[in-house]
Structure 1
C-alpha cells in the first residue's frame, strides 16, 4: 500500500500574487492518481515463422482518486481517505506478420484494445470543484471521473529498406 506517512506543506498563489503556505495531514491516506495494484498476463502463439498472436489481460485495482491538499487542511478531515474507483480488467489482442522478402523488412500488424468493451473509470479527482454541483464528501458523487476508452483497433504496415 502506498500511503502518505507525514504531515506536508502545500503552497498556492493568492489573489494578490503572494505565495501562501499551509499544512495538511495526509498521514495514512492512500496515494491517489494511480492504481496501486496492476497485474498482467500474456499468451503469445507463433503458429508459423514470422506470424504471431498475443492475448494480454491487465488488471487494475486500489485506484484512489487524486486529491487536493486543501481537502485535508482542517483537523476533522485529517487522514480522510479519497474515493476508491471500481477495479477493472482490460483484454487486448495483437497479431503481426513479417513478410519473408529478401533484403526488405515488411511487417503488418493488427491491434484490438479493450477487446471486451469494458466500461471503466481510468482516472478520478476527489471533491472536484468543477462538478456542476460540487460536494465535499470524499465519495463517488464528489469526484470528477474520466472514463476509459472503449473497444478500438488499429492496423499498421512497416517497411524498412
Structure 2
C-alpha cells in the first residue's frame, strides 16, 4: 500500500509518500563449509563439506515515509533534497533445511527454525537523505554538488546464527552511518543549430571517505575471539575493531575517491 501527495509551483515541487509492503514467501539461502560446530548441531553433515541453508516462507515487513523536494529560487540555480525513513523487519520466524551443494539433495533430518522475528532486514540503509544543487555560471557552463547520508544499515546474516531465541534477542550488527559528497561540472559547445557537444566531469566521494558498505557476517564487538593470541578476549578488549565493528566480520568497504569524464554529441 502506498499513499502520496504532490505539490507543484513556479518555484518549488514537493512529493511525499508513505508505504507499507509485506512479503510472506521470501527465502534466504546461504552456502557454507561445515565446521565442527555445525556438525555438533547436525550430525548428518560431514566436516568440511559444502552445504547451503534454504529457508522458505520468510516474511518481511517494509514500511516508511519518503519526502522529495526541488526548488528554483533563481533562474540559474536549482536545489534538490530528499529524505527516506524506513523500518524494515522480518515478520515471524521461518523453517529451513540443509542441502548438499554437490548434488542439490536435501540432507534428511537436517532441519530447524531460524528465530528472525522482528530482526532488522540488512544490506540496505533504511534511513537515507541527500541535498544537492545545480548552478549555471553561464549558459554553457554549469557546476553541481550533492551530499548523501546513509544510516540504519544492518549486516546480512547466516541462518545458523539464529537457531536460538537468545541469538535473536542479541540482534543484528548495525554498521556505522556515513555520508558522501560528490561534485561535477559540464560545458556545452554549440556546433550549429542542431549539433552540440557536452563535456562532463564528476568526482565521487570527494573527501575520500572510507566506510563499511556491507557485512555478510554478524560478529559484535563484545563477542569473544575464539582462536589466536587474543582468544578469550572480546574484540573490543583486544582493540580489534574498525569504526566500532569487530574485525572478525567479513564484508566490503565502499569506494574511496573516484572520478569520471564523458562526452555527449547530439545531432
When normalised by structure 2's length, the TM-score is 0.53
In structure 2, what is the equivalent of residue 94 of structure 1? 184
Higher relative contact order (CA 8 A, sep 6+): 1
In structure 2, what is the equivalent of residue 10 of structure 1? 96
Distance across 2 between alignment mates of 1:86 and 1:32: 13
Query: Which structure's residues are more often strand, by fraction?
Result: 2
Alignment root-mean-square deviation, CA: 2.4
Query: SS of the counterpart of 1:49?
Result: coil
Number of residue equivalences: 155
1:79 shift after superposition:
3.6
In the superposition, relative to structure 1, how do residues 41 and 10 fare at CA in structure 2: closer, same or farther (>3 Å)?
A: farther
* Contact 1:65/1:143 (<8 A) preserved: no
Out of 190, 201, 208, the residue aligned to residue 117 of structure 1 is: 208
Distance across 2 between alignment mates of 1:10 and 1:111: 46
Distance across 1 between alignment mates of 2:163 and 2:176: 27
Structure 1 runs not aligned, ≥5 long: none
When normalised by structure 1's length, the TM-score is 0.84
